[in-house]
Structure 1
């Protein structure tokens, strides 16, 4: 499995749409090589490090083919004319949440990265796209993209190939894991327990599954999704 990077994107924290908040969601393509460390791409910034960035969310990948679904829902929004509408660092065609498994290891230019978790969209996406239901729609569609941790730092350039080199959890496509996370069904306790044992899955996701098993309750998403 290999796909070509259509764009590598970074951005600095800036005022978010018509809100008093800062966000790093506005990202633009860079043509020159960028250093990718365990904390992310050089020149990329997150405004709120409590919930964005860090080693388990070093790089965000969003499939370009998802854009057509967004056009069907939002109409001809200018933001959807080029990569970066969703704050992604990597844009490709040919990989989706159904094709990628938790723990997949890819060569990315000179670097090596591993799929760590899906995205849990937040209300800032609503402001970015000018639609108050965008974050919830992304979650409901399961078209969230995913994050990588960096196993080996190196330079990354638009046009490089993303090449699968290892798949330790072939039975756990990201779509399956996200389906478990985003369904409010206590009858899934056994599946939650299995997901909580996935070694490559980000610890925060494993804690969420364990907490559900212990409490029998699914967390309230309204603050994340609506602000």
Structure 2
């Protein structure tokens, strides 16, 4: 259920960028190992100026220019996973933006937010992949992301600007009340979603085109998505 606070805002506690590396022998490169930056960064239509993505077919682009992760979740991960997660904290999952006080239950698809001097729009949730497993050293991490829907979300950039640690991110418009990031992400990752809901989501204004197409296939019963490669990675 959507949080009913009249004002949804938070402060940026971490801003992270990274370049493509090849940390895993025999596997594709990744920019998931992002580094904290102290000075404000220029945010453009394709993301932060100093940031990169390895596979532009599934990462980056206008609909996934910025990844925001709720730092609120890290305490739960440490509690649930024990010793392997004791170093988990903001920036650990490859996000660009970390905040406290704003989660998938607070924002809806299409929400318009002021981020520093930029304006961004919530486009979709995150589909976790095997790189989370490799990066964290926990082989079920991607599956746990999917199960809990604590995935974070993506922004498209409507107005470029400067963003830095300490800046405020504040919602200005909520055109799709009720369609929270959590609700839509759970629907996207649910292989048993009913056709009526899938058809409705396929037409949800401002939803990323890739997710809209996926819901359209689910509505037409044409979706035979095999998630094993995404969650488990190459053999």
- TM-score, normalised with respect to structure 1: 0.95
Asked whether 1:94 is paired with 2:101, we answer yes
Distance 1:170 1:96 in 2: 15
Once the two structures are superposed, what CA deviation does each residue of 1:103-127 show, in whole Å capped at 9, x if it has no partner? 0110011100000000000000000
Asked whether 1:219 is paired with 2:225, we answer yes
Asked whether 1:169 is paired with 2:176, we answer yes
Distance 2:73 2:203 in 1: 30
Distance 2:26 2:88 in 1: 23
2:135 maps to which residue? 128
Identify unmatched segments of 5+ residues in structure 2.
1-7
Q: 1:194 aligns with which of 194, 200, 209?
A: 200
| Higher alpha-carbon deviation: 80-89 or 17-26 | 17-26
Q: 1:103 aligns with which of 106, 110, 116?
A: 110
Measured after TM superposition, the shift of residue 15 of structure 1 is 2.1
RMSD: 1.5
- TM-score, normalised with respect to structure 2: 0.91
Distance 1:63 1:85 in 2: 11
Deviation >4 Å, runs of 4+? none
Instruction: Give the direction of change, closer, same or farther, for the CA distance of 1:78–1:223 in structure 2 (3 Å limit).
Output: closer
Once the two structures are superposed, what CA deviation does each residue of 1:25-56 show, in whole Å capped at 9, x if it has no partner? 01111111100000000110111111111110
Identify unmatched segments of 5+ residues in structure 1.
none
What is the number of equivalent residue pairs in this alignment? 226
Distance 2:51 2:86 in 1: 19
